[in-house]
Amino acid sequence: MIKLRVELGRNSYDINIGQGLLSQVGVWLKERGLSGKAVIITDANVRPLYAAALEAGLAVAGFKVSLLEVPAGEENKTLTAAGQLYEGLVENYAERTSIILALGGGVVGDLAGFVAATYMRGVPLVQIPTSLLAMVDSSIGGKTAVDHGSLKNMIGAFYQPRLVVADVAMLKTLPPVELSNGMGEVIKHAVIRNRSFFGFLQKHMTKAMALDIDLLEAIVRENARIKVPVVSLDEKETGPRTLLNYGHTVGHAVEAVTDFRTRHGEGVAIGMMAAARISQHLRFLHSKDIALLNGLIIQAGLPVDLPPLNDAQKENLLELIKHDKKVRNGKIRFVLLKNIGEAFITDKVDIDLVREVLFASKPA
Ligand SMILES: NC(=O)c1ccc[n+]([C@@H]2O[C@H](COP(=O)([O-])OP(=O)(O)OC[C@H]3O[C@@H](n4cnc5c(N)ncnc54)[C@H](O)[C@@H]3O)[C@@H](O)[C@H]2O)c1
Ligand SMILES: [Zn+2]
What is the tens place of the pLDDT at every residue in 36-56?
Answer: 999 999 999 999 999 999 999
- What's the mean pLDDT in 168-173? 98
Atom of ligand 1 minimally distant from the CA of 134: 16
> Is residue 95 within 8 Å of residue 68, measured between CB atoms?
no
Cα(133) to centroid of ligand 2, in Å?
A: 8
Report the share of the chain in percent with pLDDT over 90.
88
Residue 361: its pLDDT value, please? 57
Query: What secondary structure letter does DSSP report for 65?
Result: E
**Which residues in the chain are classed under CATH 3.40.50.1970?**
2-173
> How far apart (Å, rounded) are the C-alpha atoms in residues 291 and 211?
25
How do residues 270-313 score in pLDDT, each as one tens digit?
999 999 999 999 999 999 999 999 999 999 999 999 999 999 99
Regarding the beta carbon of 266 and ligand 1, being less than 6 Å apart is answered no
Q: Is 324 exposed, middle or buried (0-12, 13-18, 19+ CB in 10 A)?
A: middle
pLDDT confidence band for 238 (50 / 70 / 90) = low
Cα(265) to centroid of ligand 2, in Å?
A: 7
> How far apart (Å, rounded) are the C-alpha atoms in residues 159 and 176?
30
- What's the mean pLDDT in 324-345? 86
32 assigned to active site: no
Pick from 129, 115, 188: nearest CA to 157: 115
Check pLDDT > 90 for residue 231.
no
Residue 186 identity: V
Other Cβ atoms within 10 Å of 361 Cβ, number = 9
Check pLDDT > 60 for residue 362.
no
> How far apart (Å, rounded) are the C-alpha atoms in residues 272 and 244?
11
Atom of ligand 1 minimally distant from the CA of 132: 16
> How far apart (Å, rounded) are the C-alpha atoms in residues 261 and 251?
12
Pick from 224, 225, 190, 194: nearest CA to 205: 190
pLDDT confidence band for 363 (50 / 70 / 90) = very low
Query: What secondary structure letter does DSSP report for 356?
Result: I
More confident residue, 169 or 360: 169
227 assigned to active site: yes
Check pLDDT > 60 for residue 5.
yes
Instruction: Find the ligand nearest to 263 CA.
Output: 1
Check pLDDT > 80 for residue 169.
yes
Atom of ligand 1 minimally distant from the CA of 107: 19
Residue 234: its pLDDT value, please? 73
- Number of helices (H), then strands (E), belonging to the chain: the values are 13, 11
Pick from 221, 246, 224, 244: nearest CA to 234: 244
**Which residues in the chain are classed under CATH 1.20.1090.10?**
176-360
Cα(87) to centroid of ligand 1, in Å?
A: 23
Residue 364: its pLDDT value, please? 41
> Is residue 299 within 8 Å of residue 204, measured between CB atoms?
no
204 assigned to active site: no
Topology (CATH level 3) of domain 176-360: Dehydroquinate synthase-like, alpha domain (1.20.1090)
Topology (CATH level 3) of domain 2-173: Rossmann fold (3.40.50)
Check pLDDT > 70 for residue 223.
yes
- Of 49-63, 134-148, 174-188, 313-327, the one with minimum mean pLDDT is 313-327
pLDDT confidence band for 131 (50 / 70 / 90) = very high
- Choosing from 37, 47, 77, 143, which is the catalytic residue? 143
- What's the mean pLDDT in 315-343? 87
Backbone angles phi, psi at 18, to 5 degrees: 180, -160
Regarding the beta carbon of 49 and ligand 1, being less than 6 Å apart is answered yes
- What's the mean pLDDT in 331-335? 90
pLDDT confidence band for 348 (50 / 70 / 90) = confident
326 assigned to active site: no
Regarding the beta carbon of 178 and ligand 1, being less than 6 Å apart is answered yes
Distance from the Cα of residue 74 to its chain's centroid: 13
> How far apart (Å, rounded) are the C-alpha atoms in residues 272 and 311?
22
Residue 112: helix, strand or coil by DSSP? Answer: helix
Probe ligand 1: pick from 70, 107, 153, 171, max atoms within 8 Å of CB?
A: 107
- Choosing from 264, 266, 277, 325, which is the catalytic residue? 264
Regarding the beta carbon of 325 and ligand 1, being less than 6 Å apart is answered no
How do residues 93-127 score in pLDDT, each as one tens digit?
999 999 999 999 999 999 999 999 999 999 999 99
